[in-house]
Protein backbone atom coordinates (compact mmCIF):
# COMPACT_ATOMS: atom_id res chain seq x y z
CA UNK A 1 0.00 0.00 0.00
CA UNK A 2 1.41 3.39 -0.94
CA UNK A 3 1.47 6.39 1.34
CA UNK A 4 -0.02 8.59 -1.38
CA UNK A 5 -3.34 10.17 -0.44
CA UNK A 6 -6.43 9.06 -2.29
CA UNK A 7 -9.67 10.84 -3.00
CA UNK A 8 -13.10 10.20 -1.60
CA UNK A 9 -16.17 11.20 -3.60
CA UNK A 10 -19.73 11.01 -2.33
CA UNK A 11 -21.98 10.13 -5.26
CA UNK A 12 -25.74 10.28 -4.92
CA UNK A 13 -27.52 7.61 -6.94
CA UNK A 14 -30.73 9.58 -7.30
CA UNK A 15 -34.33 8.63 -6.56
CA UNK A 16 -34.01 4.97 -7.53
CA UNK A 17 -33.87 4.87 -11.33
CA UNK A 18 -30.34 3.98 -12.56
CA UNK A 19 -30.84 6.24 -15.59
CA UNK A 20 -31.23 9.31 -13.37
CA UNK A 21 -27.69 9.32 -11.94
CA UNK A 22 -25.90 12.52 -12.98
CA UNK A 23 -23.35 12.42 -15.79
CA UNK A 24 -20.63 13.60 -13.41
CA UNK A 25 -21.62 10.96 -10.85
CA UNK A 26 -21.49 8.27 -13.53
CA UNK A 27 -18.07 9.44 -14.73
CA UNK A 28 -16.67 9.34 -11.19
CA UNK A 29 -18.32 5.98 -10.46
CA UNK A 30 -16.82 4.37 -13.57
CA UNK A 31 -13.35 5.77 -12.82
CA UNK A 32 -13.23 4.68 -9.18
CA UNK A 33 -11.11 1.61 -8.35
CA UNK A 34 -12.96 1.15 -5.03
CA UNK A 35 -16.69 1.56 -4.42
CA UNK A 36 -18.08 1.78 -0.88
CA UNK A 37 -21.81 1.94 -0.25
CA UNK A 38 -24.25 1.81 2.67
CA UNK A 39 -25.86 -1.56 3.30
CA UNK A 40 -28.15 -2.92 6.00
CA UNK A 41 -26.66 -5.28 8.59
CA UNK A 42 -28.44 -8.12 6.77
CA UNK A 43 -29.42 -8.16 3.11
CA UNK A 44 -28.67 -6.18 0.00
CA UNK A 45 -27.90 -2.50 -0.46
CA UNK A 46 -30.57 -0.46 -2.23
CA UNK A 47 -27.91 2.10 -3.27
CA UNK A 48 -25.76 -0.64 -4.79
CA UNK A 49 -28.73 -2.11 -6.65
CA UNK A 50 -29.30 1.29 -8.29
CA UNK A 51 -25.65 1.58 -9.37
CA UNK A 52 -25.19 -2.12 -10.24
CA UNK A 53 -25.48 -1.71 -14.00
CA UNK A 54 -22.64 0.82 -13.96
CA UNK A 55 -20.19 -1.20 -11.82
CA UNK A 56 -17.32 -3.18 -13.33
CA UNK A 57 -15.63 -6.42 -12.23
CA UNK A 58 -12.30 -4.59 -11.73
CA UNK A 59 -13.77 -2.39 -8.98
CA UNK A 60 -13.35 -3.47 -5.38
CA UNK A 61 -16.64 -3.21 -3.51
CA UNK A 62 -16.89 -2.44 0.21
CA UNK A 63 -20.34 -2.61 1.79
CA UNK A 64 -20.57 -0.38 4.86
CA UNK A 65 -22.92 -2.33 7.14
CA UNK A 66 -25.06 -0.07 9.30
CA UNK A 67 -28.32 -0.56 11.19
CA UNK A 68 -31.27 0.61 9.12
CA UNK A 69 -34.89 0.96 10.12
CA UNK A 70 -37.88 2.85 8.76
CA UNK A 71 -37.93 6.55 9.57
CA UNK A 72 -41.41 6.16 11.04
CA UNK A 73 -42.94 3.08 12.63
CA UNK A 74 -45.78 1.54 10.60
CA UNK A 75 -49.18 3.02 11.41
CA UNK A 76 -51.92 0.81 12.75
CA UNK A 77 -54.82 0.45 10.37
Domain spans of the chain? 35-67
Q: How distant, in Å, are the alpha carbons of 2, 35, 51, 52 from that of 72?
A: 45, 30, 26, 28
Q: How distant, in Å, are the alpha carbons of 13, 19, 36, 67 from that of 32?
A: 15, 19, 10, 26
pLDDT one-digit tens code per residue, 32-44: 999 999 999 999 9
- Is the pLDDT at 2 greater than 90? The verdict is no
The mean pLDDT of 61-75, rounded to a whole number, is 86
Amino acid sequence: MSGAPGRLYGIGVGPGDPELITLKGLRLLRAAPVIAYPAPEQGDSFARSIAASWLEARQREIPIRIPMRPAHPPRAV
